[in-house]
Amino acid sequence: MNMRKPLVLLASSLLALGCLTACSSDNSGSTEKFCAKAATLKDIDDEDFAKQADALQELAKLAPEKQLREDISYMADAWKEMTKLDFDDPDSFQKFAEKWDTDRIEAIGDSMEGKMGNLCPDVDFSN
């Protein structure tokens, strides 16, 4: 089974959700810079995990709270690892899932979804 399409969909969904969380944190940091950076994430090619990871690292630096920075950094590191995936190898995603806490990645995405409108109500995260 070709894992490329499901993995790309998962990655782009989590990336979008990562933006949502970033845009919804408290006001302890520069929400304007944070939201501006988050708004650029949707323009990155869904299959360019390296660029996504770099953008997430930059976003993490702008996060207004420590936990948000840590969560986005975790996602960025996971995305970096995704650049090494062999989409023709059925075991590749399994190895990724064994190394990375995919439940944590999903939880980060879920927590972001509910907060999106708070900080960045003008940012369109649709693809």
pLDDT at 55: 92
49 close to 99: Cβ distance less than 8 angstroms: no
Q: What is the pLDDT of residues 98-110, one digit of tens each?
A: 888 888 888 887 7
Q: What is the rounded distance in angstroms from the CA atom of residue 82 to the CA atom of residue 48? A: 10
Q: pLDDT: is 19 or 47 the higher one? A: 47
Q: What is the pLDDT of residues 69-84, one digit of tens each?
A: 888 899 899 989 888 8
Q: What is the rounded distance in angstroms from the CA atom of residue 64 to the CA atom of residue 60? A: 9
Token representation of residue 37 = 């950076």
Q: What is the pLDDT of residues 2-41, one digit of tens each?
A: 445 445 545 555 555 444 444 444 444 588 888 888 888 8
pTM: 0.68
Token representation of residue 45 = 């090619």
Q: Is the pLDDT of residue 52 over 50?
A: yes
Burial of 92 (0-12, 13-18, 19+ CB in 10 A): middle
Q: Is the pLDDT of residue 126 over 80?
A: no
Q: Is the pLDDT of residue 125 over 70?
A: no
